[in-house]
């Protein structure tokens, strides 16, 4: 899924006009656009609805997902960890 930039989506529309329609202050929208603030889920949904896109296209980027997948592949499973640890005393039967 393609990542979309909020400032590009807004284009030449005035910040004040867009923020009023969404229901937040122009200052808050500006900070969200500059990635200085993260919106609540409700506000993120309002922004996505206004632009006619999915929340994921604006607020989640593909590189984060790829990094998470890469880290998950690097993290050993419990079985792998057990195989690499030194054996301890055997439990009593």
pLDDT tens-digit map of 57-87? 999 876 544 544 454 455 555 655 555 555 5
Kindly provide the b/e burial profile for residues 24-61, where b requires at least 16 CB atoms within 10 angstroms of the residue's own CB. Answer: beeebbbebbeeeeebeeebbebbbebbeeeeeebbee
CB-CB contact of 13 with 21 (8 Å): no
Residue with tokens 């656009």: 33
pLDDT tens-digit map of 5-30? 999 999 999 999 999 999 999 999 99
What pTM was estimated for this model as a whole? 0.64
Provide the residue ranges of all domains of the chain, joining segments of one domain with +: 6-62
Homologous superfamily assigned to 6-62: lambda repressor-like DNA-binding domains (1.10.260.40)
């Amino acid at each position: 899924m393609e990542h979309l930039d909020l400032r590009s989506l807004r284009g030449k529309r005035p910040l004040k006009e867009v923020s009023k329609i969404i229901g937040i202050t122009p200052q808050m929208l500006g900070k969200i656009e500059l990635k200085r603030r993260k919106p609540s889920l409700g506000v993120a949904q309002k922004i996505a609805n206004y632009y006619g896109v999915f929340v994921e296209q604006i607020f989640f980027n593909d590189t984060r997902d790829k990094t998470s997948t890469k880290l998950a592949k690097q993290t050993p499973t419990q079985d792998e960890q057990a195989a690499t640890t030194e054996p301890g005393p055997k439990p009593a039967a």
